[in-house]
Structure 1
């Protein structure tokens, strides 16, 4: 598994009330998790993302490196 770094673009797996996976940029790294600034999400999850101030904390194992969208 590649090392996650601040600024990496990742896909976060759905959890809790999220119905779909989401994509975003890592803002902070913790011991076992990362803080993701959500940049892309399904329309069904938009209200929840807004309530979370466009951020989510996910386990490192659930953050998959992606290439940034153009």
Structure 2
């Protein structure tokens, strides 16, 4: 991976599972190949799913891109 991600980074994440659109989040914890992301911005169609996820998701590092710190 070209950019090292760290806790607090704002990232855009690819859609997965029940989510039908990409979303924006903030990294809360990093594991070896994934990270816990707090979902900050999402499409209105995904509101129920995001609520079910308690505004958090575990996302593979290769399915996210850094926006800002």
Q: Pick the TM interval, shorter chain.
A: over 0.9
Aligned partner of residue 61 in structure 1, secondary structure: helix
Tell me which residue corresponds to 1:64: 65
Alignment match, 1:29: 30
4+ runs deviating over 6 angstroms: none
Q: Secondary structure at the match of 2:68?
A: coil
Shift of residue 63, structure 1, vs aligned partner: 1.1
TM-score, normalised to structure 1, is 0.93
| Structure 2: unaligned runs, 5 residues or longer | none
- The separation in 2 between residues aligned to 1:34 and 1:17, in whole angstroms, is 18
Q: List alignment gaps of at least 5 residues for structure 1.
A: none
Question: Residue 53 of structure 1 corresponds to which residue in structure 2?
Answer: 54
Structure-2-length-normalised TM-score: 0.94
Aligned CA-pair RMSD: 1.0
Q: Does 1:41 align with 2:30?
A: no
